[in-house]
Amino acid sequence: MDFSLFAHMERTRPDQDQRVLRSDLIALAKMADEGGMRAIWTGEHHGMDFTIAPNPFISLVDLSYHTKNLRLGTGTVIAPFWHPIALAGEAAAADLITDGRIELGIARGAYSYEYERLRPGMDAWDAGQRMRETAPLLRQLWAGDCTHDGHYYQFPATTSAPKPVQLDGPPIWIAARDANSHAFGVDNGFNIQVTPLWQGMTEIESLMTKFNDACAAYSGPRPKIMLLHHTYVGSDADDVAVAAKELSEFYCYFGAWFQNKRPVSQGLIETLTEDEIAANTMMSPENMLRDLTIGTKQDVIDQIKRYEDLGYDEYSFWIDNGMSSERKRASLARFIDDVMPAFT
């Protein structure tokens, strides 16, 4: 099984210096690189300090200057915010600058907060249709002289400038959840990224079933599938309990951003009260302990071995969690030193 890191700059308080957050992200990337992880993934988000990532290609090029071997992946670009020609060109330029280290994860996006600001009136279905029109065009644009007359985009013969370093372009990964999105990705020969978010083994098994069903109906070679999940490797049971509480709070804020009902000022959402956090029983610390990949080293090894047995090719350590940089680094160090060696 391959391992990767999924990370962003995240700012939850007005006193946090963005320059320090960038340094923290670089430090995590260097740990992943030196620790033998395959890749680092970082995404695209707009106008929200909860996840600071307006252009993942810029973030990845930045990280390329501080790492040697890591593959550099977008996790993910929000396809409906990009014209296909612009996306093909930006991805190719990043691939050129990083000497062929880019991988391109693509999604429809999830936050209505972003939709209403960048594409007012667009809903999730429309976003998904734009993604389905865009993704298959990228390889054609990299090959050159691509013409297109689609529902959302029309353009005469166009070639990506520059062209990517990698033959056929960066590997493409589609963020999938339902059966149709799995089928779309597999049928186009794309790899698949999945996350159960706060959900546990039942959802992880369901996602793999959908992927297997899509592969069974596809005549080409089997793509790869990556599982993204919040992870924490604790020093002892007390440390794990603290992490469960921190991840509970993180997911309460995640839900608040997703619902898009709470005031936002200067990129920060209105602070949740302790009572509001306690009332969100779906995101309770007990549920985090049950459903996320958190525990002491043997707990985490045992959980990931179950994912490996299901057929997942890559496990991505989701480290965005609202914790201090010190706690993030300590957990990642234990993962690299104590968990990864259990897998060949």
Location of structure tokens 């300590």: 330
Residue 106 has a CB neighbour count (10 Å cut-off) of 26
What is the residue whose two structure tokens read 């006193």?
15
The rounded radius of gyration (Å) of the Cα atoms in the chain is: 20
pLDDT at residue 103, as a whole number: 98
Distance from C-alpha of 222 to C-alpha of 276, rounded to nearest angstrom: 45
Residues of the chain with pLDDT under 50: none
For residue 344, the model assigns a pLDDT of 76
Predicted pLDDT at 287: 98
**Amino acid, single-letter form, for residue 328:** K
- Looking at residue 51, its pLDDT comes to 96
Closest CA to 84 of 139, 137, 149: 137
Query: Could you report the per-residue pLDDT of 147-163, keeping only the tens digit for each?
Result: 999 999 999 999 999 99
Structure tokens at 29: 């990337």
pLDDT tens-digit profile of 85-106?
999 999 999 999 999 999 999 9
Query: Would you state the pLDDT for residue 273?
Result: 96
Residues whose CB falls within 8 Å of the CB of residue 86, separated by 6 or more in sequence, listed in order: none
* β partners of residue 226: 193, 314
Name the strand (E) or helix (H) holding 265. strand 264-265
* CATH 3.40.50.300, domain 2-342, yes or no: no
State the Cα–Cα distance between residues 174 and 184, nearest whole angstrom. Answer: 9
